Structure 1
Amino acid sequence: MEFNNIYQGLISGKEKLALVGLGYVGMPIAVEFAKHIKVIGFDINEKRVKEYASGIDATNEVGKAIKDTTVDFTSDPDRLKEAKFIIVAVPTPVNDDTTPDLKPVEGASRTVGQNLAPGTIVVFESTVYPGVTENICVPIIEKESGLKCGVDWKIGYSPERINPGDYIHRLPNIVKVVSGMDEESAGEIKKVYDIVIKAGTFMVSNIKTAEAVKVVENSQRDINIAFMNEIAMICDRMRIDTDEVLAGMNTKWNALGFKPGLVGGHCIGIDPYYLTNAAEKLGYHSQIILNGRKVNDSIGAFVADAAIKEMIEAGLAPKKATVLIMGLTFKENCPDTRNSKVVDIINRLKEYEINPVVTDSWADPEVAKQEYGVNLVAWEDIPKADCVIVAVGHSEYRSMSMMQLKELFKSEQADEDKVLIDVKSLYRMDELKASGMRFWRL
């Protein structure tokens, strides 16, 4: 069976490409490809599909472009039979014990297998540990379809690199790593991605290598941030400002520019576990990666403890104090709340019988309630606070003046009793000192 004419079929309009999974990764891919070829966008979430079809982008990843896209959005899996090139971009979370949760990718494999046309190339973009695509996904697709991989259809892997909320590094200008099960499939996959990837594609020799690229690049970032978080904890004990230390360090040509912070989201806080889990199956126990994870997973509690300490030193009774947390999403200017580490701050405060008020205009209140049991309070309804924790660097928080920040506190409080916790070091040190407020920053 010929597989080297799929690219030409897509370009000519005779064939279609399908996206399975229309979240923060899959939907932007579908929209970008639809600018050049025919695209079917499939997701099992009917509500999400209807929103996209109505021109509503709840992810905020493509914005107004969703209204003009030609993507054929559907929740009918039977439509996948129309495609000759299928990209799977479903989430790959971890279980409570940090082991990989492959249920979404296994479910997607079953759906693809049940609706696979002969002569199709299937490419997985979901982050997995090396071996998952060939050892887990392929057998499922073969069983469901009755078609033999390598004969009736072919498989490839291209790790996603979309950064939610990043409007500079977009799909077309990020180099794309691609791979295929053999030379023919790899070449065709590269040509298809080259349709939209202006920065170019980087082909690796096999699928396992491509799978490793993703978990290694995110593990590297996780470890670097863990080092910065450890430095922040040391600087806190030394009573010196971490941000000033790092500013000085970054004047050197080979400084890496990392900063401390809450490490959440669907990639950096999860992918290292995929790598270490695979390593442990081969008899190797991580010496660095897991310790980095341990440090990063402790930062939420560290911030909460700092807030309590500052309140006590200000003469406040923490249990009776009104604590306001600004921001719930895992990063700034993005509605994505997956694996948000702000929740760790909330949970730690609750251990001290403190129920903080949480606000975030970017986050979906329904998702916050469903996923974390957090009732988001609208900005206009937030009460005056004793302690304000600015946990996420949304633009509207970053642009606030000291006067505006002071207005968030109870009017009867003296400035020195107002406790401001600046997790992201959003505000200038000279302005913080001049405000007269009691402040702490990571």
Structure 2
Amino acid sequence: MNLYEKIVSREEKISLIGLGYVGMPIAVAFAKKIDVIGFDVNIEKIVLYKNGIDPTKEVGDEVIKQTTVDFTSDELRLKEAKFHIVAVPTPVREDRTPDLTPIESASRTLGKNLTKGSIVVYESTVYPGVTEEICVPILERESGMKCGVDFKVGYSPERINPGDQEHRLATIIKVVAGMDKETLDIVAKVYELVVDVGVYKAESIKVAEAAKVIENSQRDINIAFMNELSIIFNKMDIDTKAVLEAAGTKWNFLEFSPGLVGGHCIGVDPYYLTYKAEQLGYHSQIILSGRKINDDMGKYVAESTVKKMIKANKQINGSKVAIFGVTFKENCPDVRNTKVVDVIRELEEYGIEVKVVDPVADREDLLREYNIALSEVEDIKDMDAIIFAVPHKEFNNIHLEDVKGMYSTSSNIHSEVMSEVAATSEFEVCSEKNDFVLIDIKGIFNRKEAENVGLTYWRL
């Protein structure tokens, strides 16, 4: 009886190391079929899970209450499992080089508790070579065992899309890889327990690592192209969204749109690939160019906001701007590497007071990571400009008339005074028709409708 058969018959258990937006849904899915130990070093997170609370909102509180996952922060419990899945973050440092600290730490913890006959599968996004050249030596050193003799390793890149209720673990083909054929077969069979659409067997661990890192790099480059088009078309006074809708009528036109690219995947993974390329003597051109454009978009949005406010005769220093949405993507509480913060910081550099509204964001993480306290919708009054940065579904109930009521009441008086000055002066008064500035980054609202209700409207 091999390890897969022992797992299915519940003679052996699997462990999930790292219970975040990726690891927790995987643990819950496997727990419906086999025995699962869910391990995380974050004791507070474990307490929430044990109390039936899902801080990630990926599966919901009811699912957490009903799951049979054995949640723990006791690393000694890892000795009870023979099949281990490591799903910890792989961020970048300030200098945009890979920060392998989480995956190295997880490997040390697992190595100290590894038992003979185990298989370790890494899911974290890395550059080709990390699993075999960095993680395996750590596992060997901490366990005192030999890889290939006492334990085996595999790799299966995570493809879960946080906040996406359509593309889930069960509905996305899972790429799997193993250090040898026997390991590959077992890894494939284990994942087939929870992936309805099946698995794809990569020819090596490095191939699987490379496949994952280019998936997000490709998306990053395409969004960068859209962002560059937006910058160009805004200079031409052409609506980018209208251009993309027209171009999208061709069957092979790719559906991407401009936006702020943050988070723990698309905004990070390309740096892993370019870092490894630099080590091998090749300086990336396309990938880093795309990254540069996307990294600068927060500043571009802030500068565009200020320009619109100036044209609307707003006093910039001391003005008030509300931002709706601060997470890195819609309908997801994750604020890691969110580029909305870049917009906020840039506006603050101008002396602007910024209020942030987000019914989805993790308040504690936001306060701890960025020292940003959230406001309620009711608190948004007397604004000089409003920015809708993230299209959460909760914002669908906010209408343009509601938005108009959030601006400074002095704007109407200001407009009337400017109109009178323009009528009685021989000089032209440089002011836009509307001084209610609405920045709609992702195009939640209809441009013409916004302008018809008296708003100066701008979007990427």
Output the TM-score relative to the length of structure 2. 0.94
CA deviation map 1:252-282 (0-9, x unaligned): 0001100000000110000000000011111
SS of residue in 1 equivalent to 2:411: coil
Distance 1:316 1:380 in 2: 23
Report the equivalent of 1:429: 447
SS of residue in 1 equivalent to 2:359: coil
SS of residue in 2 equivalent to 1:413: helix
CA deviation map 1:218-266 (0-9, x unaligned): 0000000000000000000000100000000101000110000000011
Q: CA deviation at 1:436?
A: 1.4
Distance 2:397 2:275 in 1: 42
Distance 1:239 1:9 in 2: 65
Distance 1:350 1:407 in 2: 24
Q: How does 1:403-442 map to 2 (within 5 A)?
A: 403-414=401-412, 416-442=434-460
SS of residue in 1 equivalent to 2:442: coil
Report the equivalent of 2:424: none
Report the equivalent of 1:148: 146
Q: CA deviation at 1:384?
A: 2.8
Q: 1:205 aligns with which of 196, 203, 206?
A: 203
Residue 26, structure 1, aligned to residue 44, structure 2: no
* Aligned partner letter, 1:195: L
Report the equivalent of 1:236: 234
Residue 266, structure 1, aligned to residue 237, structure 2: no
Q: CA deviation at 1:81?
A: 0.4
Report the equivalent of 2:389: 391
Q: CA deviation at 1:433?
A: 2.2
Distance 1:401 1:424 in 2: 16
Q: CA deviation at 1:383?
A: 3.5
Q: Answer yes or no: is the 8 Å Cα contact 2:121–2:154 preserved in 1.
A: yes
Q: Answer yes or no: is the 8 Å Cα contact 1:361–1:379 preserved in 2.
A: no
The CA RMSD over aligned residues, in Å, is 1.0
Residue 314, structure 1, aligned to residue 332, structure 2: no
SS of residue in 2 equivalent to 1:383: coil
Distance 2:382 2:207 in 1: 53
Distance 2:298 2:368 in 1: 21
SS of residue in 1 equivalent to 2:153: strand
SS of residue in 1 equivalent to 2:29: helix
Q: CA deviation at 1:413?
A: 2.1
Q: Answer yes or no: is the 8 Å Cα contact 2:447–2:457 preserved in 1.
A: no
Report the equivalent of 1:323: 321
Q: Answer yes or no: is the 8 Å Cα contact 1:398–1:427 preserved in 2.
A: no
Residue 245, structure 1, aligned to residue 243, structure 2: yes
Report the equivalent of 1:378: 376
Q: CA deviation at 1:361?
A: 1.4
Q: Answer yes or no: is the 8 Å Cα contact 1:265–1:330 preserved in 2.
A: yes
Q: Answer yes or no: is the 8 Å Cα contact 1:346–1:355 preserved in 2.
A: no
Q: CA deviation at 1:10?
A: 1.1
CA deviation map 1:96-137 (0-9, x unaligned): 000000000000000000000110000000011000000000
Output the TM-score relative to the length of structure 1. 0.98
List alignment gaps of at least 5 residues for structure 2: 416-433
Distance 1:382 1:369 in 2: 19
Distance 1:167 1:440 in 2: 30
Q: CA deviation at 1:411?
A: 2.8
The count of residues paired between Structure 1 and Structure 2 equals 439
SS of residue in 2 equivalent to 1:318: coil
CA deviation map 1:311-334 (0-9, x unaligned): 111111111211111111001111
Report the equivalent of 1:285: 283
Residue 12, structure 1, aligned to residue 9, structure 2: yes
SS of residue in 2 equivalent to 1:356: strand
SS of residue in 1 equivalent to 2:82: strand
Q: Answer yes or no: is the 8 Å Cα contact 2:381–2:405 preserved in 1.
A: no
* Aligned partner letter, 1:424: K
Residue 41, structure 1, aligned to residue 38, structure 2: yes
Distance 1:328 1:90 in 2: 23
Distance 2:41 2:378 in 1: 36
SS of residue in 1 equivalent to 2:89: coil
Q: Answer yes or no: is the 8 Å Cα contact 1:422–1:440 preserved in 2.
A: yes
